Chain A
């Protein structure tokens, strides 16, 4: 589960801290931004934790009692390797389906579905929710698996259980909590589900499914006047409801071929770009990660690291006249500016390519929103990298020591 807001926040903090640090003498102590932010997030989440054990102890049934309805979904992609998610068997409209999230399935070349008990499930067809990140796979007529009923009215404050496949380890886990808020298509819950739980059923005490565990969102950090204090963020967990859903049948291999693979590749690309700029923001003169699936990004990273090597060789020179130092600074400023410009142009190109997908009218609402999010992330990265490059290219990297 990704968080565009968290990526942007960490990136911006890293960049602007780096700009501040870049003006100091070479070799000054660096601040580990990411781990400080991560620690702050952990502290904030800890403060807001309810005690899930209270719910667990009083919950009228356990995972074992419904294990025949919980499934793990293993996906294999030739390009992106393996991933895993969760799902469940449920009844809807008089039929029985496996329910999961669309994002669990998209991009997979092979999908395997097993109940926790080890039964293999072979669905006959796939339908996607027009607006929500939900997929349902109809069980074959000869499949005798029973499914959960779907609850139509989840109430705030009621206890719940999330049974699924935490962290993609293939081992089912049980998480407990309460319904925090409800909208027409979402539940917010306190159960602390994580990646791998995508697709897990959110169950009430009557063994009815209220929703499907779908994503985690991090709230905007609270403003603080104290510069020493880390901004507080908290994780909020959302599940799509399964009532009032519009479904569209899809030819899965065609749909997945047209959109699924690009979805995964774009997701990986955006992650790679942010990894690069985190690294660059953290250490303006350090190396950036250079192994990337995208050939152009890999090429840029290698060129950038070669530039870093040149700067390091220059600093090994030891001494220089004022004129020589000015020339060296100008060269570095030019190189840094060019590198930022090249990366920004790359991000801009990619955002335009992804934006082309938004014009397709058979895209589900979920996928449309995801691509739109990637376009925004890439456009945001373009602007930030341009700004960062402009500022770095105005800084004198070498000064005379007094």
Chain B
């Protein structure tokens, strides 16, 4: 009887494994993991002021509990919506569709997602004009290449990423059509924050450097205030081009009931991290 039950269970597991559809997470890590953000981030509102002009533009990214990006929006300094990207997932949590809208240009596009776990690739096909965006991932699940082509396979845009042993970007090249446009080089500090960036424009032979100063880091280890300074280092002396003052308003998921119960029973000393903020929108 016992052997019969065990066999049934094993068969059920095998059947489930064979029949279960792959999701995008079999190919890539959740979007949140490929950012510099730590902890259960629900949303990030990035506000940028250029050259202390007193105006702040906003970029907002929203994530689900798995860390999938669900929505990205950009607003101008008067809080007017400029563009929005929505990412759709099915009942199994699999990435299925991307919808993009640009309010300024009154332009919309919709992309259907196809997965190829064998080649570690995700393809997005635009419904109206047939453009294809092909994302290629490393075995560790990090984006290493993105190619956007026309329906006739003419290259429009390519992005190539190189990563270090911690899967952090160390090099990013943007190629417009067939010509390399620029390359970014990243230098990371011991604390995991980006320390400096170099940028080389290949056609114009110009070079720039970005330095970073972090003003505030929250209890999760995420910076919430930062200054970026861009220098033109093409000539003999570095010349400041612009500064970005950046604020990040980060919203965190409240721990769910199971996590909270586990934490309470296991907790024998003070936690190093502060509890996530209450999410007033959830029931």
Contact = CB atoms under 8 A, between A and B. Distances in A.
A182 B215 contact: yes
B225 A182 contact: yes
B216 A155 contact: yes
Interface string B219-255: 0000001010100000000000001010100000000
A156 interface: yes
A181 B229 contact: no
Main secondary structure of the interface of B (DSSP, over half): strand
Interface residues of B, number: 15
Interface residues of A, number: 13
B213 interface: yes
Contact of A183 (B214, B216, B243, B247): B243
Contact of B227 (A184, A188, A219, A238): A184
A84 interface: no
B96 to A, nearest CB: 40
Contact of B215 (A155, A186, A236, A238): A155
Contacts of B162: none
A224 to B, nearest CB: 15
B23 interface: no
A232 to B, nearest CB: 13
A236 B245 CA distance: 16
B52 A183 contact: yes
Contact of A181 (B211, B213, B214, B245): B245
A177 interface: no
B69 to A, nearest CB: 26
B216 A181 contact: no
A182 B245 contact: yes
B49 interface: yes
B213 A184 contact: yes
A219 B247 CA distance: 22
A361 B247 CA distance: 38
Contacts of B281: none
Contacts of A155: 215-216, 225
Nearest to A219: B54
A301 to B, nearest CB: 38
A85 interface: no
A188 B243 CA distance: 14
10 contacts: A153-B214, A153-B215, A154-B215, A156-B216, A181-B49, A181-B52, A182-B215, A183-B51, A184-B229, A236-B54
In the complex, the 10 A-B pairs of residues with the closest C-beta atoms, listed nearest first: A183-B243, A155-B215, A155-B216, A184-B229, A183-B52, A153-B215, A181-B245, A181-B52, A156-B225, A184-B227
